Amino acid sequence: MEKIRVCVRKRPLGMREVRRGEINIITVEDKETLLVHEKKEAVDLTQYILQHVFYFDEVFGEACTN
């Protein structure tokens, strides 16, 4: 039985997203790790970033082509 591999590619923001002022919240940490930075607000209204870490068999960055 073969193992299923899960690979992801982080795409760059599109022109429409850039025009709307959207920001990049994903970082490729290494060839197997992806970070998602989530903006949060505490009860006292201070803002902070919560990082979610995801692991895959392979992670490709924005510069990678098909």
Residue pLDDT tens, the chain, 66 long: 789 999 999 999 999 999 999 999 999 999 999 999 999 999 999 999 999 999 999 999 998 876
The region, left, alpha or beta by phi > 0 then psi within -120 to 50, assigned to residue 45 is left
Look up the domain containing 22 and give its range: 7-60
Radius of gyration, CA atoms only, the chain = 15
pTM of structure:
0.80
Is residue 47 included in any domain, yes or no? yes
Residues 60/7, Cβ–Cβ less than 8 Å: yes
The domain total for the chain is 1
| Residue 36 in domain | yes
